[in-house]
Amino acid sequence: MVGFPAVKATRRHFLKLSLAATAAAASGPRLARAQASGPRVVVVGGGFAGASCARALRHADPKIVVTLVEPNATFTACPFSNSVIVGMRELSTQQFTYDRVAADGIAIARTSATAVDAQVKSVTLADGAKLSYDRLVLAPGIDIRWGALPGYDEAAAAQMPHAWRAGEQTLLLRRQLEAMDDGGLVVISAPANPFRCPPGPYERASLIAHFLKTKKPKSKLIVLDAKDAFSKQRLFQAAWAELYPGLLEWVPLSKGGNVTSVDAATRTLVTDFGKHQAKVANVIPPQKAGRIAEVAGVTDRSGWCPIDPVTFESKLQAGIHVIGDAAIAGAMPKSAFAANSQAKVCAAAVATLVAGGTPSIPKLINTCYSLVAPDYGISVAGVYQPTGGQLADVPGAGGVSPSDAPRETRKAEAVLAEAWFRTISAESFG
C-alpha cells in the first residue's frame, strides 16, 4: 500500500508547516488544535488571488486549516510595474513577503505544487510530500505560452523581455530603455485576447512614451497589436494625441499589427505587412493559466479554466476552485482587483461548503486604473453577477472615466490609483 507512507509524509510535512506558522503567529496551541480537527483548504499560488483567499478563509472561519503553497519567499506585484520600467518607482516597492500572511495562522509551504489528485483530494509538492484537502483553491496566475509566437522562447525573452511577470524581466526592460541612444525605435507587441491586464500594454506604451518624451525625445515608439480594439481605447488614444503626438504609433491588426514571428538576435518583429527592427523590443506574448491548472485537469482547450460563477469551483473537477488570472471569469478582466474580489467570494463559498451549507449568489466588482502619464490617471470599473452560468456585467453599471473630464480629475485618478495599490497590497500581504 502506498497510502501509509504518503500519510506519514503528510503528517511530517504538516508538523514542519505548523511549526513555521506557529513561530510566526505565536498562537501555537489553538493552531495545533485547529489543524488536528478543522476542514483543510489548500491554496496554490500566493499572488493577489491566492494570498487574499487564504486570508479571507481564515477570517471567514478560524477553524479552517489553510495551507498556502508558494515557492517564492517574496511576491513581486505586476500593477505599477510599468512605473518601475520607466524609473518612476523601484522594484522593491512592488515586493511583499508572506510574513503577515503566516501571522494570520496560515501555514506557508515554500515549494511548488507538482501534481493534484482530484479523486483522492491531495496535492503533491515538489519535495514529494502530499497535502490532503477538503477543498483546493488554485490561483496560479499565468504562464507564457512559449512557442505560440515563432522565435519567442525563454532565450529570446532575455533579449526581448516580456516583463509580463514582474521581477527580473521588469528590470531588464528598464535597463534596455535606459541604455538606448536617443533616436532609437522601441517596439511593443500586444497579444490577442484574453491575457493578463487588458489595459496593461497601453499603460506601458504611455509611460514609455512619457519616458522617451522627457529623456530621449528623438526616439519613437510603435505598438504592434494583434487586436483592432483594446481596453479604455478612446481615453488612451485621446491622451496619446494630446501628450505624445508623433512619438507613439499604434498599429492595429487591420493595419498589419499582428506579429507573426520574432528574431531575438536582431530584435526584429515580423508582421504580415513588414518587419520592424527595434533597439528595444517588448514582446507581450500569448498566455495561458499557470501550469498546475493544466496538471490538475481544470483547463479547457483554451488553456484557461472554466468555473462556476457562484463558487469559482471548476466545471471540470469537483472540489477544485480556480480564481484570478487563470479563471475564465466571463466579463471580468484578468486584473489584481478582480483576483482579490474573486478570492473573497471564493473564500466565503468554500467556508460555507465545508460547513455543509449552500453559498449565496455573489456580486463582484472590478476597478482598474491606468496611468497615461505620472499625473494622468484613467479608470474602468464594472459590477458583475452570475448570469446564465457566467459572470456577466450588471446592466447600467460600470464603464470608463468620462472622456471630457478636466485635468484635475485625471490627476485625482492618478492619486487614487496609487492609493488603490497600497490598499490592495495591504489587504493581501500587509
Partner 1 sequence: MRRVLAAAIASVWIAAASVASAEPPAGAAACSGCHPSAARGSSPVTPLAGRDRAEIIKAMQDFRSGARTGTVMDRIAKGFTDAEIQAIAAWWASQR
Contact set with partner 1 (CB under 8 A): 56, 60, 337, 340-341, 344-345, 348-349, 351-352, 357, 359-365, 367, 379, 381-383, 385, 394, 396-399, 401, 409, 412-413, 415-416, 419-420, 422-424, 426-427, 430
- Residue 196: CB atoms within 10 A of its CB come to 21
Nearer to partner 1, 113 or 424 (CB): 424
Nearer to partner 1, 74 or 367 (CB): 367
Query: CB of residue 196 vs partner 1: minimum separation in angstroms?
Result: 17
Grid coordinates representing 130 are: 502530499
Nearer to partner 1, 299 or 428 (CB): 428
Nearer to partner 1, 138 or 400 (CB): 400
Nearer to partner 1, 246 or 396 (CB): 396
Query: CB of residue 350 vs partner 1: minimum separation in angstroms?
Result: 11
Query: CB of residue 418 vs partner 1: minimum separation in angstroms?
Result: 9
Nearer to partner 1, 163 or 424 (CB): 424
Query: CB of residue 382 vs partner 1: minimum separation in angstroms?
Result: 8
Q: Coil, helix or strand for 174?
A: helix
**Pick from 318, 328, 388: nearest CA to 353:** 318
Query: CB of residue 358 vs partner 1: minimum separation in angstroms?
Result: 10
Query: CB of residue 22 vs partner 1: minimum separation in angstroms?
Result: 23
Q: Coil, helix or strand for 323?
A: coil
DSSP 225-265: ES-S--TTHHHHHHHHHHH-TTTEEEE-GGGT--EEEEETT
Nearer to partner 1, 33 or 363 (CB): 363
Query: CB of residue 208 vs partner 1: minimum separation in angstroms?
Result: 25
**How many secondary structure helices (H) and strands (E) does the chain include?**
12, 25
DSSP 260-283: EEEETTTTEEEETTEEEE-SEEEE
Nearer to partner 1, 167 or 199 (CB): 199
**For the chain, how far is it from start to end, CA to CA, in angstroms?**
44
- Return the bridge partners of 314, or none: 307
Query: CB of residue 338 vs partner 1: minimum separation in angstroms?
Result: 9
Query: CB of residue 98 vs partner 1: minimum separation in angstroms?
Result: 16
Grid coordinates representing 339 are: 483576483
Kindly report the length of the chain: 430
Nearer to partner 1, 151 or 333 (CB): 333
Query: CB of residue 16 vs partner 1: minimum separation in angstroms?
Result: 30
**Pick from 95, 268, 134: nearest CA to 189:** 268
Are the beta carbons of 374 and 81 closer than 8 angstroms? Answer: no
Please enumerate, as own/partner, the contacts of 92-101 that have beta carbons within 8 Å and a separation of 24 or more.
94/166, 94/170, 96/425, 96/428, 96/429, 96/430, 97/73, 97/429, 98/46, 98/51, 98/68, 98/70, 98/73, 98/429, 99/24, 100/429, 100/430, 101/46, 101/51, 101/54, 101/55, 101/68, 101/429
- Return the bridge partners of 370, or none: 378
Nearer to partner 1, 177 or 331 (CB): 331
Grid coordinates representing 313 are: 469551483
Cα dihedral sign for 67, 71, 72, 76?
A: negative
**Pick from 323, 327, 326, 325: nearest CA to 345:** 323
CA separation for the pair 98, 108 (Å, rounded): 8
